[in-house]
Amino acid sequence: HPEVCHAIDTKGAFRRYTTDVIATTAFGISVNSMKDRDNEFYIKGIETTKFATGPLMMVKMMLFRACPRLAKSVGLSFFPPATTEFFKKIVEETIRAREEQGIVRPDMIHLLMQARDKEGPSVHKMTLDDIVSQAFIFFFAGFETSATLMCFAAHELAVNQDIQDRLREEVQQHFAEGNGEISYESLSKMSYMDMVISETLRKYPSAIITDRLCAKRYELPPSRPGCKNVIVEPNHILLFPIYSLHHNPKYFPNPDKFDPERFSEENKDNILPYTYLPFGHGPRKCIGNRFVLMETKILIAHLLQKFTLKITERTVEPIVYTKKEFALQPVGGFWIGLEKRET
């Protein structure tokens, strides 16, 4: 409502959007966090993200990493028992209602119910806790990180009006071809949209670091001439500094510049493999990467159709990151202005 709101911290609005998307696709329930602003699903999600930050969480993560059996034996958990019980109750009631009423809905709960009902000597028999865990990790991984990606994308579009104008032209073309609607197919054809989101993920990766557990002995070549080879043994943990790779001028010249052209058809093949890792790589690549890209592109498309994104006196550029969070977050929030367009 630009007539009453000339500037907005996009994190609040986008987090409500991702809450509703995850609620319906992962848990099979419909909520409207924009209108029902204090609904329990949204409140529990906020509690989860607050609980997952701070020094206590750091200590827990170190204990889980160093002594996983001890952490499990003492019943250590990342989240408050009330939060765990809330999500378990939702899944349990949803499954019961679907079984009693024969409801079939194309979402994650249905897929997990199908997996639960599979039989065979090599099939793991899924329990309710298994199903709750899968649905919850989908929520936890996609709720905050997706909203943050959208915030950074909106920030860069507000700062770079030329990029915003070019992207809007592409969006309007596809809206016109779809008679005012955006389909999955048209989203897939938006090449400049893909370039903009890819560059956002390059400059602001959702995870600044990721890790992998070595399963087989491997010999790494020397890092520079004259150095020794490095032997990686099974059960060794390797850390991959995603943010550092994305900001290394050796791989991405002028890394602090927001430049979607890095991912154009002509340039993207020049990117050295495994230097761009917004979702990880290989068989353990983020399972929700296409999902996140789709919901982000839908949001940006509708925003550009209805608004011109602008900087305000509260917009900080270049962004200054807070030191109190695990993920990249700006000090003071993601403030931009929204000017309503005639459509």
Question: Higher pLDDT residue, 325 or 231?
Answer: 231
Model pLDDT for residues 2-47, shown as the tens digit of each residue? 666 778 999 999 999 999 998 888 888 889 999 999 998 898 888 8
**What does the pLDDT average to over 202-221?**
93
Gap between the Cα atoms of 39 and 20, Å rounded: 11
Reported confidence tier of residue 204, pLDDT bands at 50, 70, 90: very high
148: nearest Cα among 262, 283, 319, 23? 319
pLDDT recorded at residue 3: 66
Q: Does 246 score more than 90 pLDDT?
A: yes
Question: Higher pLDDT residue, 244 or 57?
Answer: 244
Model pLDDT for residues 86-135, shown as the tens digit of each residue? 888 988 988 998 888 888 888 888 988 988 888 888 888 888 888 888 88
Fold topology of 8-207+241-340: Cytochrome p450 (1.10.630)
Reported confidence tier of residue 53, pLDDT bands at 50, 70, 90: low
**What does the pLDDT average to over 194-213?**
95
Least confident of 71-85, 218-232, 313-327: 71-85
Q: Does 51 score more than 80 pLDDT?
A: no
Pairing of strands 230-232, 218-220: antiparallel
Gap between the Cα atoms of 18 and 206, Å rounded: 15
| Average confidence score pLDDT of the chain | 90
H or E segment and range at residue 310: strand 307-310
**What does the pLDDT average to over 243-267?**
97
Q: Does 63 score more than 80 pLDDT?
A: yes
Reported confidence tier of residue 173, pLDDT bands at 50, 70, 90: very high
User: Among all chains, which residue has been given the structure tokens 């000017």?
Assistant: 339
* CA torsion angle 327 333 334 335 (round to 10): -170
Helix, strand, or coil here: 330? strand
Gap between the Cα atoms of 95 and 109, Å rounded: 8
pTM equals 0.90
DSSP class per residue in 59-86: HHHHHHHH-HHHHHHTT--SS-HHHHHH
Gap between the Cα atoms of 148 and 52, Å rounded: 15
Q: Does 62 score more than 90 pLDDT?
A: no
The sign of the CA dihedral 271, 273, 274, 279 is positive
pLDDT recorded at residue 52: 58
Determine whether the annotation assigns residue 214 to a binding site: no
Reported confidence tier of residue 83, pLDDT bands at 50, 70, 90: confident
CA angle 86, 91, 93 (to 5 degrees): 95
Q: How far apart are the first and last CA of the chain?
A: 15
Do 180 and 302 form a contact (C-beta atoms < 8 A)?
A: no
Helix, strand, or coil here: 251? coil
Q: Does 211 score more than 80 pLDDT?
A: yes
pLDDT recorded at residue 188: 92
pLDDT recorded at residue 197: 98
Strands (E), 173-306: 210-213, 218-220, 230-232, 237-240
Gap between the Cα atoms of 276 and 202, Å rounded: 7
Model pLDDT for residues 213-229, shown as the tens digit of each residue? 999 999 999 988 889 99
Question: Higher pLDDT residue, 249 or 41?
Answer: 249
Do 327 and 243 form a contact (C-beta atoms < 8 A)?
A: no
Token representation of residue 236:
């060794």
Helix, strand, or coil here: 256? coil
Ranges for all domains in the chain classified under CATH 1.10.630.10? 8-207+241-340
**Interacting residues of 90 by C-beta distance below 8 A, sequence separation 6+:** 27, 29, 41
305: nearest Cα among 194, 169, 104, 196? 169
pLDDT recorded at residue 310: 95
The most confident of 152-166, 216-230, 284-298, by mean pLDDT: 152-166
